[in-house]
Structure 1
Amino acid sequence: MSTGMARPRIHLLATGGTIAGEADPAGDGARYRAGVRPVEQLLAAVPGLDATAELSAEQILALDSKDMTPADWLTILAATRRALADTTIAGIVILHGTDTLEETAYFLHLTLPGDKPVVLTGAMRPADHPEADGPANLRAAVCLAASPSAQGKGVLAVMNRTAYPARWLCKARTHGLDAFESARPWTDGRPDGRCADLSPATLPRVDLLMGYAGAPPELVDACVAGGARGLVLALTGHGSVPAAWQPALARARGHGVAILRASRCAGPVDHNANADDDREGWLTAGDLPPAKARIALMLALARGGEAQSFLQLEE
C-alpha cells in the first residue's frame, strides 16, 4: 500500500559471513560454512523488506570474516565510497561476518566521510538454522540506514535488535545472539573520517603481539624480519613492557618500525605513564583496544606525518 512518501534507497554490500552460511554436512550440526548464499537469496528470506526502502544490492566478497584481510577492507571501502557518491542512495548496509565485524566497522569509521548512514550487520546463526537471526538483523539494519536518526552518527552496527557505534563496538562473547556490546550507546556515535581523503593501493603491515608471562622477544624480531612496519603490543596491565623485550624493541625502532603500547585490559594506556615513551620512541593507544589500535596505526603510517598526534585525535 502506498503512503505517498518516497522510500529512501538503501544499497546493500554483501561480503559473506555467517548470515550467508549453511550447515556443513560433515559437521554433525556443530559446524557451518560461511559466505555460501548470495545476497539475492538473503533478501528473499526477508519478505516485505522493500516496504521500508527501495533496495539495491551487490555481492563484493564471499568470505568467512575470520579470513578478512586489509586488502579486503580496501575492496569494501572502494565499493562503499562508490555507493555513497551516488546521489540516489540514502544509506548503505554491509553484510559481514561477526568475527571481524568490529575491525571492518572501525576501519570504515576512519575512512568514510560520514555524510550518509553506513550500517554493518551479520548473524550468529547460519541462514539455514531453524531460528536464524540474520533476517531480523538485516531488517533492523535497513530500517536504521533509512532512518533520519542515523544521520550524523558515523558508521554503526546492528545485532540482536541493538545498534552500536563503530568506535566502541566489540564482540564480547563466542555464543549467543547478544554477542556484541559497546561502552557507549549508538546515539553517541559521530563521524570521524580523518582518512576520508586517503586511497591507498595497499596498507602497511602492522602486527599484533600479545604480552604474557614468558613471551619470547624473538617474536618481535620475527615480525620485523617478516616486513612489519608497525607493532601493536597487547600488553599486560597499563601497557607494561617485559624487560626481556626491550632490546628487541630497540632493534625494531632502529629499523624504523613503529611500536605502539596497548593493553589486554579495558582502560587507557596513557603516554609516558608506566614507560618513558618519548625516550623509547613508542606510541600509545589511549583507550583503543589492540585490534583497533592496529587499524589506526596502519592508517597513520599510510597517511604519513606524526603518528601519535593522529592517535590522540580519538576521544
Structure 2
Amino acid sequence: MIPTLLRRGGRLSIAAALLTVSVLACAKGNIVILATGGTIAGSGASSANSASYQSAKVAVDQLIAAVPELQNVASVRGEQVFQIGSESFNNERLLQLGKRVSALLKQNDVDGVVITHGTDTLEETAYFLNLVIPSTKPVVVVGSMRPGTAMSADGKLNLYNAVSLAVSPDARGKGVLVSMNDEIHTARDVAKSVNIKTEAFRSPWGPLGLVVEGKNYWFRAPVKRHTTASEFNIDRIEKLASVEVVYGYGNMNEQAYRAYVGNGAAAIIHAGTGNGSVASQIVPVLQELRGKGVQIIRSSRVTGGGFVLRNAEQPDDKYDWIVAHDFNPQKARILAAVAMTRTSDSKELQRIFWEY
C-alpha cells in the first residue's frame, strides 16, 4: 500500500508510513496462542511415526515459526503455559489455564485466544472454559492427531484454521470453540471418538461449521448457556469440587464408589450402560451414598450420543439422583465440579445440567 501511494506522487512522511503500517497490523487483530503441550507439540523418531511419538516436545515459538502464514491473518504471539500430555490435566491446571485466559481477554490489545492442547482431554478443557470464561471474544482450542514430524501431519493446518477462526468477528459470542480437521465444533458437544484418524473429533449433533482456506462457513449456533450467559466465573473459583467417575457394567461391585467417597468425593458420575442404567446390586449402594450427602449423577457410557432420560430407567425423583442429559461421563464430571462450587442442592444441580 505504501509504495503505491508514493508512486502516485503523494507525499507520505515516514511518520505517516509507520502509522499506516501500525493501522494495518491492528486491523489484522491480535491473537495470543497459549501452548500446553500434547501431540501438536510432539515429535516422532521418523516421518513414518504418526501414532508412536513423544508428545509435548516442541515449544510454542517453534509451533508459530513453523506456520509463517499465521502472520497473514493475525498478529500472533505465544505463551508456554504447560508442556504436558493432556492426560495430566488436573483440576489445578484447569484453573491456572482458565485464569490466564480470562486475564488475557480483559486486555484491549487481545482479540482472541488460541489454546494448543493434547487431544486426550481437549474436550474437557474446552468445555470447562466454555462454562467459566465471561467474554464474547473467541477462544479456540486446537490439537492434532499426528506430530509435526509425521508425513501428512495435521497440526499446522489445524493451528492456521484456529487462528483464522479466533480472529474472525463472526466467531464472537459463540462460546469456546474447537477447531480440528477443518471443522468448527462447540466445546459443549465435541468429543474425541477415535484415537488414530485425523477426523477424531465429532459432535453428536453435528459441527457448527467449517473453516476452508481461512474462511468460516457456519451452519448452526450453540443454544445452551455458555461464557457471558453462564452463572460461573473463573475469577471467583479457587477450587473445583471433587467429582469422580465410575464405569458401569453388569459384574461390577461397590468398592470403587466407596473408595472415592472415602477419599472425599462430593459427587459420583455413574457411567452407566444405555440410558445410564445401574446394575441391580449397585442401586442400594448409590441410595446409601446419596443418603450421606453424596450427589449421584447418572450418565451414559454410549459412544457418540448417550442421552439419559430422567425417571426412565431409575426412579430419579424417588432416589434424589441427577441425570446428566446428553453429557458423556467426562464432561458431566466437569460440569458437576464447576456447578458444585456454587450449590449442593440436587434440584439446582439438575437445572444446571438441563441449561448448560
* Structures share fold, TM-score greater than 0.5: yes
Q: In structure 2, what is the equivalent of residue 201 of structure 1?
A: 238
Q: In structure 1, what is the equivalent of residue 291 of structure 2?
A: 254
Q: Which amino acid aligns with 1:215?
A: M
Secondary structure in structure 2 of the residue aligned to 1:23: coil
Q: In structure 2, what is the equivalent of residue 189 of structure 1?
A: 222
Unaligned runs of 5+ in 1: none
Deviation at 1:267, TM superposition (A): 3.8
Q: Which amino acid aligns with 2:170?
A: S
Query: Partners in 2 of 1:28 and 1:45 — Cα distance?
Result: 19
RMSD between aligned residues = 2.0
Q: 2:130 aligns with which of 81, 95, 109?
A: 109
Deviation at 1:213, TM superposition (A): 1.7
Query: Partners in 1 of 2:289 and 2:232 — Cα distance?
Result: 30
Q: Please say if residues 114 and 155 of structure 1, whose CA atoms lie closer than 8 Å, have aligned partners that are also in contact.
A: no
Paired positions, count: 313
Report which of the two structures shows the higher radius of gyration computed on alpha carbons: 2
TM-score normalised by the chain length of structure 1: 0.93
Pair 1:313-2:355 in alignment: yes
Listed as ranges, the matches of 1:138-287 within 5 Å are 138-182=159-203, 183-186=205-208, 187-189=220-222, 192-193=226-227, 194-198=230-234, 199-265=236-302, 266-287=305-326
TM-score normalised by the chain length of structure 2: 0.83
Secondary structure in structure 1 of the residue aligned to 2:34: strand
Query: Partners in 2 of 1:303 and 1:128 — Cα distance?
Result: 45
Secondary structure in structure 2 of the residue aligned to 1:164: strand
Q: In structure 1, what is the equivalent of residue 11 of structure 2?
A: none
Deviation at 1:174, TM superposition (A): 1.3
Secondary structure in structure 1 of the residue aligned to 2:290: helix
Q: Please say if residues 156 and 164 of structure 1, whose CA atoms lie closer than 8 Å, have aligned partners that are also in contact.
A: yes
Q: 1:298 aligns with which of 315, 337, 346?
A: 337
Deviation at 1:196, TM superposition (A): 3.9
Deviation at 1:130, TM superposition (A): 3.4
Q: In structure 2, what is the equivalent of residue 288 of structure 1?
A: 327
Query: Partners in 2 of 1:83 and 1:132 — Cα distance?
Result: 30
Deviation at 1:195, TM superposition (A): 4.2
Deviation at 1:24, TM superposition (A): 5.5
Q: 2:144 aligns with which of 94, 105, 123?
A: 123
Give the stretch that moved more between structures: 144-153 or 190-199: 190-199
Give the stretch that moved more between structures: 177-186 or 151-160: 177-186
Q: 1:85 to 1:28 in 2, by over 3 A?
A: closer
Give the stretch that moved more between structures: 142-151 or 245-254: 245-254
Identical-residue share of aligned pairs (%): 39
